[in-house]
Chain A
Amino acid sequence: MDLSERGLTAGKLVDMKWKLGVAVCSDECKSLNSPFVAMTLKVADASGKISTHTFELTIPQFQNFSEQMKDMAARMEMI
């Protein structure tokens, strides 16, 4: 079932934190040189209980996420 078909009680996004880092090197690669975006989201459910969710994105993954948010905002404006 995709999101449009499911009735759900979604929580509310109450906080978003981020950091931009670079993975410098690893045991297999002295020259990893790989930037990443780490994010932490706090979501409050209907009762006010807060859950925390973190994840890490490569730059292309972040850009895709960012594009989706922008698309969403553009659609909202049309309403």
Chain B
Amino acid sequence: MATNAKNISALLTGLAKRNYYNEPEFTDEFLKSQIFPDLSDEAYATLLKRCSNYMKNLVSADMDFNQLEAFLTSQMKRREAAMTEEEASAYRKFWKVHKNKIHDTLVSKTNWNNSLKKVSWRIDVKSQSKSAENINEPSAIVELQIENPEESQKTEVVQFEMDESRLAHVLQNMKDIEDQIVQYCQQ
């Protein structure tokens, strides 16, 4: 049973689903039965190892498309077990589709701290109070849903109130952060 761009692509996609997209049903055995049913176990094991290693290289370096071409070219020039043009074409296709998605998945998988699941807010206005000075004083009520990535059932709900001056302080913080992002990050 020959390996070609099509079945290699299918194998790469299956491996990505299991390793990165949290779809454990795509086991090695399942993939073999679906894509390479006639391949010997030994040949399949070799192919699997080869594809996994190549994929790890691409993912680990988060290769851009120039780096990918350079990498594929170098693999095709090897004296032993050189990559074929069919294989290279499968990797090009795979990377075009999955590069960003896999990277984003890895980024979110490496946030082991709480994340902000939801932000809700409303504005209250105090219309009456004992001392007249408080009439029509707005305050912002914010509710944050904070989720722990390891225990997603436990969502923490935090509610707090801010008057205009506290909110102005918060906005200043937001602006400071934005300025730092522009300065330090290529976005």
A interface vs B, CB < 8 Å?
2-4, 8, 10-13, 16, 18, 20, 22-23, 26, 28-38, 41, 43, 51, 53-59, 61-66, 68-70, 72-73, 75-76, 79
Main secondary structure of the interface of A (DSSP, over half): mixed
**Chain B residues touching A, range:** 35 or more
CB contacts under 8 Å to A, within B56-109, are: 59-62, 103, 106-109
A79: min CB distance to chain B, Å: 5
Q: Is A72 within 8 A of B140, CB to CB?
A: yes
B67: min CB distance to chain A, Å: 10
B187 within 8 A of A: yes
A41-B158, A55-B115, A75-B123 given. 6 additional CB < 8 A pairs?
A18-B177, A51-B158, A57-B115, A61-B116, A66-B174, A70-B174
Partner of B181, one of A20, A33, A43: A20
Partner of A32, one of B110, B138, B184: B110
A42: min CB distance to chain B, Å: 9
Q: Which of chain B's residues has its CB closest to A75's CB?
A: B123
- Chain A residues whose CB sits within 8 angstroms of the CB of B174 once the complex forms: 65-66, 69-70
Partner of B180, one of A12, A20, A66: A20
Main secondary structure of the interface of B (DSSP, over half): mixed
Q: Which of chain A's residues has its CB closest to B102's CB?
A: A29
Q: Is B123 within 8 A of A79, CB to CB?
A: yes
Q: Is A57 within 8 A of B166, CB to CB?
A: no
Q: Is B60 within 8 A of A10, CB to CB?
A: no
Q: Is A54 within 8 A of B114, CB to CB?
A: yes
Bound state CA distance, A63 and B125, in angstroms? 27
B122 within 8 A of A: yes
* A-B contacts, 24 listed (Cβ < 8 Å): A10-B143, A11-B161, A12-B160, A12-B162, A20-B180, A28-B109, A29-B62, A29-B106, A31-B61, A35-B184, A37-B181, A41-B144, A54-B113, A55-B114, A57-B116, A59-B181, A59-B185, A68-B119, A68-B121, A69-B167, A72-B123, A72-B140, A73-B140, A73-B168
